[in-house]
Chains A and B, each alone.
Chain A
Amino acid sequence: MKQLALFLSAALFLTMGCNTSSKTSSYTLSDVVFESAGPYFEGANTFTLSHTIDPSLLADSAGFSKERIASVRLRSAVISPAPGQSLDLFRSFSLALMGNASESLTAAVLNPLPANTGQAKLGVSAESDLKAFFSEGTFYLVLDADLKADHEETLTLLGNLVFEITY
């Protein structure tokens, strides 16, 4: 009898495990503008972008409630220059997320930047879970751009970012 009870418990546990299989959806930011006012100095200059999402709406579109969001990871981050500008001015990029309530996290980096490239494809961190920022709703995307030399004119960088949300 005891063995039967154990067997039934194990079967129930396994069935529940199968029912809680995860599902993913993606969230894309296309050509978002990272801004920073010049003049710029040689070294790391900060370009920022404030972004707001509605986590309920986002989860709802995937058929879940926002409480079911298990993790959010950056899957790809591509930085390109505004028309008429060049990436040759830069040595490296690193991208972090910051929030009013959440601790900031670095999510992607490219160092060094290849010469004569039109786009910078950053290496993303698989460990950085960005769920807290998505739960907060409003957060800052902060791009540290390492300039090779001082620069006077205003620079604009465009970002194409893909996030993967796991439920």
Chain B
Amino acid sequence: MNLFLKSTLALLFFALNLGLSAQADADRLLGVWEPSNGKARVKIEKIGPKYYGKIVWLREPLDPKSQQPKTDKNNPDEALRSVPLKGYRLLKDFTYSGNNAWAEGSIYDPENGSTYSCTITMKDPNTLDIRGYIGISTFGRTDVWKRLQIPAK
């Protein structure tokens, strides 16, 4: 094998490893997370190249008035107000931007029907800073989410 071929193969191997490592970095976001208020648990999953978070557990799953499962009753689109809150995708369209951060996504607040721009920063493997904002990131609010530890069977 000549030197050129060896160098090319080594470069290809390096590039492949780099790609796999970036993918693994990005996928650390996957899992079930709990916001600081403890009212819900959110499962972050990957669909295509993006990350989405849906509600999988609610501390109070029933509407206090109707005693029926809560729905997205504040959605600005009337046709979608019957979407169940349990299962609702409130984190949408995040892509990994490197340095433990996921950006270009949005977060939906079902309590007022508003959607905010959002960035996610992983402080450590079990802690996320979720920052929702309008316009520029300076004017926003950060909530700390903790990874739900699922005991091994």
* Contact with B82, one of A43, A96, A109 (Cβ below 8 angstroms): A109
Give 1 or 0 for each of A34-68: 1 = CB within 8 Å of chain B CB.
00000000011010101000000000000000000
Query: A41 CB to closest chain B CB, in angstroms?
Result: 8
How distant is the Cα of A124 from the Cα of B50 in the complex, in angstroms? 25
| Residue B52 at the chain A interface, CB threshold 8 Å | yes
Q: Total interface residues on B, using CB and 8 Å?
A: 22
| Residue A100 at the chain B interface, CB threshold 8 Å | yes
Q: For B45, list chain A residues within 8 Å (CB).
A: 46
Beta-carbon nearest neighbor of B54 in chain A: A44
Give 1 or 0 for each of B64-90: 1 = CB within 8 Å of chain A CB.
000000010000010110111011110
* Contact with B86, one of A43, A98, A109, A125 (Cβ below 8 angstroms): A43
Q: For B79, list chain A residues within 8 Å (CB).
A: 109, 123-127
How distant is the Cα of A113 from the Cα of B81 in the complex, in angstroms? 15
Q: Which residues of chain A in 83-128 are interfacial with respect to chain B, using CB atoms and an 8 Å cutoff? A: 91-92, 94, 96, 98-100, 103-104, 106, 109-111, 123-128
Summarize A's interface: helix, strand, loop or mixed: strand
* Contact with B84, one of A111, A126, A128 (Cβ below 8 angstroms): A111
* Contact with B89, one of A96, A100, A128 (Cβ below 8 angstroms): A96
| Residue A163 at the chain B interface, CB threshold 8 Å | no
Q: For A106, list chain B residues within 8 Å (CB).
A: 77, 80, 83
Beta-carbon nearest neighbor of A94 in chain B: B83
Summarize B's interface: helix, strand, loop or mixed: strand
Query: B103 CB to closest chain A CB, in angstroms?
Result: 13
Q: For A100, list chain B residues within 8 Å (CB).
A: 48-50
Is the beta-carbon distance between A111 and B82 smaller than 8 angstroms? Answer: yes
How distant is the Cα of A44 from the Cα of B84 in the complex, in angstroms? 9
Known: A43-B56, A109-B80. Is A146-B86 also a contact (CB below 8 A)? yes
Known: A98-B50, A111-B71. Is A104-B83 also a contact (CB below 8 A)? no
Question: Which residues of B pack against A, CB within 8 Å?
Answer: 45, 47-50, 52, 54, 56, 71, 77, 79-80, 82-84, 86-89, 92-93, 106
A-B contact pairs, 13 of them (CB 8 A): A44-B86, A50-B48, A92-B82, A92-B84, A94-B83, A98-B93, A100-B50, A104-B52, A106-B83, A123-B82, A124-B79, A128-B77, A144-B87
Question: Which residues of A pack against B, CB within 8 Å?
Answer: 43-44, 46, 48, 50, 91-92, 94, 96, 98-100, 103-104, 106, 109-111, 123-128, 140, 142, 144, 146
